[in-house]
Amino acid sequence: MTEFSDLWESQADPELWIVAAAAALALFLVAYGPAWRVSRNVVTIAHEGGHALVALLTGRKLDGIRLHSDTSGVTVSRGRPDGAGMVLTALAGYAAPPLLGLFFAWLLELGRITLMLWGALVLLAGMLVMIRNVFGVVSVLTTGGIVFAISWFAPTDVQAAFAYFGAAFLLLAGARPVIELQRLRALRQAPSSDADQLAHLTGVPGLVWVCLFGLLALACLLLGGKLLIPAEAFGTSFFGGTSPL
């Protein structure tokens, strides 16, 4: 069982095969359609959480979040209908999953496995109070319950595998919703998408925003992937210095 003191301690990197297996499972969930239709709910949680967090940080009033069984979601905030706050809020949705995955990868590179898992729980708890529909509550509680059970009861190796899986999933899953977004836009089935809202707010074409989302997801994947590979696989730490072999 995890103790509170473990939160601030550094844990050893898992073996390379554990990291590889976690990444392979994450890739499967993203690439395989039936699995993606279920696992995409986690991406929606991160997406809407990004909208909500930035809305609050920019001084907007958050009315609530709804998550739907088709893996869509909506975050409602009040404030100026234009300006930097609204632009940043609209931008934050597609940016949130890959950036969160990169942040988690950074924590894992530092050996902060427990801190990463408990940090995820804090984010989920903060989001839960703003959920305004039953499916959303069930989705967030289920996700949080799994993270809590692993972080509190599971042995160290299982915690490490789960943490690396979670970070890898967010990094890999950052790009697929962007591809799906542009496909829907091409079919004219997403007239109110984040990219089109940003186009209305800024005058910059929606396709430019889609490309920006994609480039950000790719950059986070490349950097986060580098961070997730244990140092012994290279013989040196990502930030320099020699690692003991």
pLDDT confidence of residue 12: 80
Residue from 50, 31, 123 nearest 88 by CA = 50
CA distance 46 to 245: 37
| pLDDT of 172 higher than 70 | yes
- Position 83 in a domain: yes
In angstroms, rounded to a whole number, what is the distance separating the alpha carbons of residues 230 and 111?
10
* pLDDT mean over 166-179: 96
| Average pLDDT, integer, range 105-119 | 95
pLDDT score of 212 more than 60: yes
Could you identify the residue written with the tokens 């789960």? Answer: 162
Res. 3: pLDDT tops 80: no
Contact between residue 161 and residue 22 where contact means Cβ atoms under 8 Å apart: yes
Averaged over 5-29, what is the pLDDT?
86
The confidence band for 41, taking pLDDT boundaries of 50, 70 and 90, is very high
Amino acid at 55: A
Q: How far apart are CA 67 and CA 224, in angstroms?
A: 27
Q: Is residue 243 part of a domain?
A: no
Of 144, 154, 171, nearest in space to 229 by CA: 171
Burial class (CB in 10 A: 0-12, 13-18, 19+), 183: exposed
CA 194 to each of CA 16, 60, 198: distance values in angstroms, whole numbers, following the listed order:
38, 17, 6
Question: Would residue 160 count as lying in a domain?
Answer: yes
From CA 180, how far away is CA 215, in angstroms rounded? 15
Q: Tokens 């395989």 appear where?
A: 32
Whole-model pTM: value is: 0.90
pLDDT (mean) for 215-223: 98
Domain that holds residue 57: 14-233
Average pLDDT of span 156-184: 96
Asked if the structure places residue 156 within a domain, the reply is yes
In a domain, 136, yes or no: yes
Q: Is the pLDDT of residue 242 over 60?
A: no
pLDDT at 237 over 60: no
Asked if residue 9 is part of any domain, the answer here is no
Mean pLDDT of the chain: 91
In 3D space, the residue among 147, 57, 44 whose CA is nearest the CA of residue 96 turns out to be: 44
Contact 52, 123 (CB under 8 A): no
Angle at 25 between CA 19 and CA 29, to 5 degrees: 145
Q: Where are the beta strands (DSSP E) in the chain?
A: 61-67, 73-78
* Domain contains 101: yes
Q: Which residue shows structure tokens 């809590």?
A: 148
Q: Mean pLDDT throughout 2-22?
A: 77
Evaluate whether 61 touches 77 at the Cβ level (below 8 Å): yes
SS3 71: coil
What is the pLDDT at residue 10?
76
Q: Say how many domains are in the chain.
A: 1
Question: What average pLDDT does range 30-52 have in this prediction?
Answer: 96
pLDDT tens for each residue of 87-101: 999 999 999 999 999
What is the mean pLDDT of the segment spanning 198-226?
97
